[in-house]
Amino acid sequence: MILWKKTGALLATALLLGGLVASEAEARGKRMSQLPNGGVAGCNTCHTDGGGTPRNPFGLEMQANFLTASGSAGDVVWGPELAALDSDGDGVANGAELGDPDGTWVVGDPDPANPFAPGDPESTPPMPTATAVAASNWAQIKSLINELD
């Protein structure tokens, strides 16, 4: 009887921990639907090799500056500012790589055509022509900083 109680307690603990891990993964998985074409590369849009692995440069940028709250409760703030950045440093703005160069897509809209995966050299689109986003204050500041390097 004691063995049964210990086994039951271990099983209950394992189920509880499994549920917590699953809910944490699900909480962050929601972010894929908060990005244009976020489901194309899935977790690799923000992670180096799937959910739970280190974040790639785009994921780090988003985590640091483009969430409504820290942790799993935060939602992505997608718009012209995040779209104009080149988080992975490949010469192409995040928005162009995700198929929304101007950052005008909103949750609930159909995904834009021609998605690209951030940081994937095989799917990087050609350099976009100048847009209103390219002329944003942040884009101008970034351009000046790049000239100093």
Among 105, 111, 60, 55, residue whose Cα is nearest residue 83: 105
Beta bridge partners of 55: 47
What is the pLDDT, as a whole number, of residue 25? 41
Alpha-carbon dihedral 96, 56, 62, 124, rounded to 10 degrees: 0
Please tell me the distance from the alpha carbon of residue 118 to that of residue 60, in angstroms, as a whole number.
13
What is the pLDDT, as a whole number, of residue 75? 95
What are the structural domain ranges in the chain?
A: 31-148
Ramachandran sector of residue 35 (left: φ over 0; alpha: ψ -120 to 50; beta: rest)? beta
Mark the ranges of the chain whose per-residue pLDDT is less than 70.
Answer: 1-28, 114-143, 149
Give the pTM. Answer: 0.63
Please tell me the distance from the alpha carbon of residue 146 to that of residue 143, in angstroms, as a whole number.
5
**Does residue 102 contact residue 94 with C-beta atoms inside 8 Å?**
no
Distance in Å from the first CA to the final CA of the chain? 71
What is the pLDDT, as a whole number, of residue 21? 41
What is the pLDDT, as a whole number, of residue 148? 73
